[in-house]
Amino acid sequence: CPQRAGRPLIAVSHIHERNTMLKTMFASVIALAATISLAAGAAAAGAVGVQHFNLSSPQQCMTGKGFLYCFSSVGEETVVQAPSGNMNGEINATFSFSASSGGTVIASGTDSIHQHALLTDSFSVVQEVGAHETSTVTSGGTTCTFNGDFHATELNPATLTGRIQYNNVTFVCV
């Protein structure tokens, strides 16, 4: 690794920026899939009403290649299953990480996400879905921020039809 005053540097390159943005977008898709999966599991179990899922995890650290990596999360998912078969799900969570070497933090970041979905017709139609996310990573003196704001209605996975109301994405490094 390149060194500055005895510390390794983590360079923020275009490839790193693209990977960070893709990671963030995939996290949104995975969180939405988790909402649908948990709701489907609740429906199969015959659960009707409000269910809460804890997404919080205390800080956990691991070492590798001379670095200390730490991760934590705070959040909750709420799923409401109606007797009609409709399901409303919402996720609010913040994920944080840091990487350090020799006691000095060399990279850190947070990812805050809010997602909501309303599924109808026994989960065959995503009546409404929204994903709102902000991800900030600081490394090597550069801070990159990803913002994603997506909203769609009447999505039918079987026919691949629906309406995207807006899909705004920004990615800025300073």
CA 87 – CA 35 distance, rounded (Å): 10
pLDDT of residue 159: 83
Residue 56 has pLDDT above 70, yes or no: yes
Label residue 144 left, alpha or beta by phi (over 0 means left) and psi (-120 to 50 means alpha): beta
- State pLDDT tens for residues 66-103: 899 999 999 999 999 888 878 899 999 999 999 999 98
- State pLDDT tens for residues 23-46: 444 455 555 555 555 555 555 555
Average pLDDT value for the chain: 79
CA 170 – CA 5 distance, rounded (Å): 34
User: Which among 29, 108, 118, 135 has a CA at the least distance from the CA of 79?
Assistant: 118
Residue 7 has pLDDT above 60, yes or no: no
Q: Model pTM?
A: 0.68
Average pLDDT, integer, range 125-150: 93
Q: What are the distances in angstroms from CA 159 to CA 74, 99, 130, 164?
A: 36, 44, 20, 15
Residue 118's identity, in one-letter code, is L
pLDDT of residue 85: 79
In the chain, the percentage of residues whose pLDDT exceeds 70 is 72
Query: Predicted confidence band at 161 (pLDDT cuts at 50, 70, 90)?
Result: confident
More confident site: 170 or 27: 170
- Classify 7 as helix, strand or coil: strand
More confident site: 91 or 10: 91
CA 170 – CA 174 distance, rounded (Å): 13
User: Which among 89, 107, 34, 94 has a CA at the least distance from the CA of 59?
Assistant: 94
Helix (H) or strand (E) run with residue 2 in it: none
Q: What are the distances in angstroms from CA 99 to CA 39, 49, 108, 144, 154?
A: 35, 41, 6, 16, 41
Residue 116's identity, in one-letter code, is H
